[in-house]
Structure 1
Amino acid sequence: MTETRLPIRRALLSVSDKSGLIELGRALSDHGVELLSTGGSAKALRQAGLIVKDVSDHTGFPEILDGRVKTLVPQVHGGILGRRDMPAHVAQMQEHGIEPIDLVCVNLYPFAATVASGALPADCIENIDIGGPAMIRAAAKNFDHVTILTSPEQYHSLVESLKNGGTLLSDRRAYAGAAYAHTASYDGMIARWFAEQAGEFLPPVLTLSGERSELLRYGENPHQQAAFYHDGTKRAGIATAQQIQGKALSYNNLNDTDAAFEAVSEFDAPSVVIVKHANPCGVASAENLEQAWIAALRCDPVSAFGGIVAVNRTLDAATAARISEIFTEVIVAPDADAGAKEILAKKKNLRLLLTGAMPNPTAEGLAFRSVAGGFLAQSRDAGRVSEKDLKVVTKRVPTEQQMKDLLFAFRVAKHVKSNAVIYVRDGATVGVGAGQMSRVDSARIAARKGEDAAKLAGEDKPLTAGSVAASDAFFPFADGLESVVAAGAVAVIQPGGSIRDQEVIDAADAAGIAMVFTGMRHFRH
């Protein structure tokens, strides 16, 4: 059945974001629509030569209380909420001189931008919109008779509807849904700000909102639906990335790319992280990115095939040429020079993402995970240890280079699924064991990776020989420590805190290796 179009005869325009306002106002005026407006919106429309009626003239009631009350009057809300299909409503509107308003175009005071600017609390409160949300919600509720616009991105479709005689019910229903999402997100921002003002990191009611960036072909598996949303915080990373080339990103691509970029942000020197299935399979720091790539790839060249590569410097041509020698799904970097872009452009399916900056690994924030009937929320793992935090618990003390490698290894461990054991030598991983139920198994898998990589490199000794090892959590028994020693590690870093710590320390002393405790663990489930 063909839908009937609803003509627009009177529109109320009151926007903070004036993008596209003049074009919309002109299109409405050209189609004979009476324009009502307030404050800055009315001024902008008049300056463009359009005839505009002030809301105060329309209602016969002036703006009062420094503009806090200007649209909260029956002539506005009655004109929006009145049902044209109910004779009683129509009669009451006529009795009180209330004229129908067919289109409401409103976006809200810039509360988030005001907070982000560092404004005083009083200024933030003044940027909490009251009349705007009330009009939006009223118009959205009465979508059978009223069209509500809350974003400049909607203006083009509205203008096309005008050309065809008015809006369809299906369009108005869609606009209404977007309107309620808009006000819900706005109220959520305000609620979070009040919680922060009260020092409540995890408030009794937690409101979340996100804007969909794109629909994805599917989720982790083809039978799952998926989309990517950004939360408006503008933290450098996947949400700020510009895709320079390559086919569309999948759910798994995005998840793995985020894991890789967060991991590489931990390091100050030029560094490379290679990720496969959300776990680093090679991490290295060096004097430049090309050397870091060579060292990271050496750790596990088999797993690196089809992986995700993250770097923490502007990607240069030499490094891009090296990476392009193997099949790579995604490269993510803060930037890339012209030579690198030219080289990678030959790899049509490879995605190159440039984020513009590096994320701050110590920044506060919340991390979430869904569970049946709800979700878990916790602060991000922004924890870090430095040399001054370490406690040497063995007779043998790590050398200066070993201490550097121990700290490097422990930062890598933070980004490897638990149970995690990582071997490092000279600023590069030489074995990664991830996600095993037993810490002993993780140690052995990482050691085997070091053996396999050595064979591929034509070396006689496993890469783990003479390395240091990191464990994301304490060794509950000496057997895990003994597995690390068997792999050739000469120093170990672990959180400590087990009731059998002394047993593990004694095993380290018996093996003649050094061990340090961090007092901090990095479970990653």
Structure 2
Amino acid sequence: MASEPPKKIAILSVYDKTGLLDLAKGLIKQNVRLLASGGTAKLIREAGFPVEDVSAITKAPEMLAGRVKTLHPAVHAGILARDLASDEKDLAEQNINKVDYVICNLYPFKDTVAKINVTVAEAVEEIDIGGVTLIRAAAKNHGRVTVLSDPEDYHDFLQELEKGEVTSKSRQLHALKAFSHTADYDTAIADFFRKKYAGEGLQQLTLRYGTNPHQKPASAFMTDRKLPFKVLNGSPGYINLLDALNAWPLVKELSDALGFPAAASFKHVSPAGAAIGVPLNDVEKKVYMVEDIEGLENSGLAQAYARARGADRMSSFGDIIALSHEVDIPTAKIIGKEVSDGVIAPGYQPEALQILSKKKGGKYLVLQMDKTYTPPAQESRTSYGVNLTQHRNDATITPHNSFNSIIVPKDSPPLPDSALRDLTVATIALKFTQSNSVCYALNGQ
């Protein structure tokens, strides 16, 4: 007589025990051997279902107050083994059986760190090691192994099992959910330790609030490096940073493309004005109300901001300012006269910083940008719970390479440098608007 095929094996190790007993009952009905750890085995056993401790195959007890339960070759070789002759040989030599189903979910790290005044020691004890390893091993080998990390999937899994076998498509979707589960778990852990160890502006910065004052908490952070800016004065809000981090690349690109200091006045995440430091004539100085600024003639940056602010004074009211060069005293004095919420620049002369820090009763926002910072090529955002991603708009615009296809009247001379300059200013400014726009440019603004 042919021998019966070996029983299929399921390993269960769950913190969330929702639906566990119904799952165990269904697996036993399908003649599946159950191996479980700690509290999972206890609950199944107390319900009267046959279950073995994981130690039945590891021959090692749980240790370190439960920190080590399933970390053992007998467990993970059984999960990771493929349907290959070489893998079968290795298992046979070590007397290890294949594992077919892994049911696991993780310690509630998010719930723990959400508690008031949670300590690092308390959080550390909720970092799951064995569970993550089980899930990742099973998900990696989803060509053969089914991994369940969500109790919501137990019902459909059992229905499929009753029909004969779990399909390849189901295993793929379970594996995807499992990888997402461990990724989200690791993200939560990294978030906690970033706030603890790299907060206060190093990699994480708490913001005053989000788009509106009731939208708290709000923060800015980087996952893999330091934030590319420092807060020298004031405290930013969510919209402040959206304005600043859109305004900075505009002025950087303007300055790089045209070789002049550049300035931008931002409101509602779009430029109200942008300009380079083309010298102001006497009429323009009066129009822009800067004729009394000492040292103006020697500051291309101050003249750039006078032009940017003057492009649309009404829309610039309460702006975030971006400046491509170190802020000097004339520029700071112009800003000091205007109603503005903040400024971002690569540096500040000491006296200029003193002038700016006195604005708004000492609460004026002053950000120092790392001018060497280059953002990733791919950018993403979340809207209404949906993740959106796109390639960053890294199109390079220069006066002599970007406008070769401009249509001009027949036999007309080439566009003068001043026109190419103004086309460059307009095109780069439009690059940083949030919708279809028309831009008027003249005299570098």
TM-score (norm 2): 0.52
Deviation by residue 1:338-392 (Cα, 9 ceiling, x = unmatched)? xxxxxxxxxxxxxxxxxxxx3127x433279xxxxx99966899x8679xxxxxx
Q: How does 1:454-493 map to 2 (within 5 A)?
A: none
Quote the residue 1:149 is aligned against. 148
Question: What is the CA-CA distance between 1:12 and the residue it aligns to?
Answer: 0.8
Quote the residue 1:112 is aligned against. 110
Identity %: 32
**CA separation of 1:128 and 1:421: change in aligned 2, threshold 3 A:** closer
Question: What is the CA-CA distance between 1:165 and the residue it aligns to?
Answer: 0.7
Query: 1:365 and 2:196 equivalent?
Result: no
Give SS of 1:435's match.
strand
Contact persistence 1:12–1:35 (CA under 8 A): yes
Contact persistence 2:102–2:145 (CA under 8 A): yes
Contact persistence 1:10–1:35 (CA under 8 A): yes
**5+ long unaligned stretches in structure 2:** 248-263, 277-300, 339-355, 370-431, 434-445
**CA separation of 1:8 and 1:104: change in aligned 2, threshold 3 A:** farther
Give SS of 2:164's match.
coil
Quote the residue 1:62 is aligned against. 61
- CA–CA distance in structure 2, aligned partners of residues 92 and 413 of structure 1: 60
Deviation by residue 1:425-482 (Cα, 9 ceiling, x = unmatched)? xxxxxxx995234389xxxxxxxxxxxxxxxxxxxxxxxxxxxxxxxx9995556777
**CA separation of 1:421 and 1:202: change in aligned 2, threshold 3 A:** closer
**CA separation of 1:483 and 1:141: change in aligned 2, threshold 3 A:** closer
Contact persistence 2:219–2:238 (CA under 8 A): no
Give SS of 2:165's match.
coil
- CA–CA distance in structure 1, aligned partners of residues 336 and 194 of structure 2: 49
Contact persistence 2:77–2:91 (CA under 8 A): yes
Query: 1:520 and 2:365 equivalent?
Result: yes
Q: How does 1:301-316 map to 2 (within 5 A)?
A: none
Deviation by residue 1:21-65 (Cα, 9 ceiling, x = unmatched)? 222222212222222111111222234332222112343322122
**CA separation of 1:8 and 1:114: change in aligned 2, threshold 3 A:** farther
Question: What is the CA-CA distance between 1:15 and the residue it aligns to?
Answer: 0.8
The code of the aligned residue for 1:436 comes to A
**CA separation of 1:28 and 1:378: change in aligned 2, threshold 3 A:** farther
Contact persistence 2:34–2:51 (CA under 8 A): yes
Q: How does 1:88-107 map to 2 (within 5 A)?
A: 88-107=86-105
Give SS of 2:177's match.
helix
- CA–CA distance in structure 2, aligned partners of residues 164 and 479 of structure 1: 74
Contact persistence 1:413–1:420 (CA under 8 A): no
Give SS of 2:66's match.
coil
Quote the residue 1:199 is aligned against. 198
The code of the aligned residue for 1:115 comes to V
- CA–CA distance in structure 1, aligned partners of residues 309 and 198 of structure 2: 42
The code of the aligned residue for 1:43 comes to K
Question: What is the CA-CA distance between 1:104 and the residue it aligns to?
Answer: 0.6
Contact persistence 1:12–1:101 (CA under 8 A): yes
Compute the RMSD of aligned alpha carbons. Answer: 5.0
Quote the residue 1:30 is aligned against. 29
Give SS of 2:63's match.
coil
Question: What is the CA-CA distance between 1:412 and the residue it aligns to?
Answer: 8.4
Contact persistence 2:302–2:334 (CA under 8 A): no
Q: How does 1:60-459 map to 2 (within 5 A)?
A: 60-86=59-85, 88-117=86-115, 118-199=117-198, 262-263=210-211, 265-266=212-213, 358-360=214-216, 363-366=218-221, 434-438=270-274
- CA–CA distance in structure 2, aligned partners of residues 506 and 132 of structure 1: 58
Structure scoring higher RCO (CA < 8 A, sep ≥ 6) equals: 2
**CA separation of 1:29 and 1:202: change in aligned 2, threshold 3 A:** farther
- CA–CA distance in structure 2, aligned partners of residues 200 and 112 of structure 1: 18
**CA separation of 1:73 and 1:376: change in aligned 2, threshold 3 A:** closer
Question: What is the CA-CA distance between 1:95 and the residue it aligns to?
Answer: 4.1
Paired residue total: 296
**CA separation of 1:187 and 1:411: change in aligned 2, threshold 3 A:** closer
Contact persistence 2:112–2:123 (CA under 8 A): yes
- CA–CA distance in structure 1, aligned partners of residues 176 and 50 of structure 2: 31
- CA–CA distance in structure 1, aligned partners of residues 188 and 269 of structure 2: 41
Contact persistence 1:37–1:52 (CA under 8 A): yes
Quote the residue 2:386 is aligned against. none
The code of the aligned residue for 1:165 comes to G
Question: What is the CA-CA distance between 1:14 and the residue it aligns to?
Answer: 0.4
Contact persistence 1:366–1:379 (CA under 8 A): no
Give SS of 1:122's match.
helix
**CA separation of 1:143 and 1:503: change in aligned 2, threshold 3 A:** closer
- CA–CA distance in structure 2, aligned partners of residues 111 and 507 of structure 1: 50
Contact persistence 2:266–2:319 (CA under 8 A): no
TM-score (norm 1): 0.45
**CA separation of 1:138 and 1:478: change in aligned 2, threshold 3 A:** closer
Question: What is the CA-CA distance between 1:103 and the residue it aligns to?
Answer: 0.3
Question: What is the CA-CA distance between 1:155 and the residue it aligns to?
Answer: 2.1
The code of the aligned residue for 1:364 comes to S
**CA separation of 1:375 and 1:439: change in aligned 2, threshold 3 A:** farther
- CA–CA distance in structure 2, aligned partners of residues 505 and 164 of structure 1: 74
Quote the residue 2:346 is aligned against. none
Quote the residue 2:250 is aligned against. none
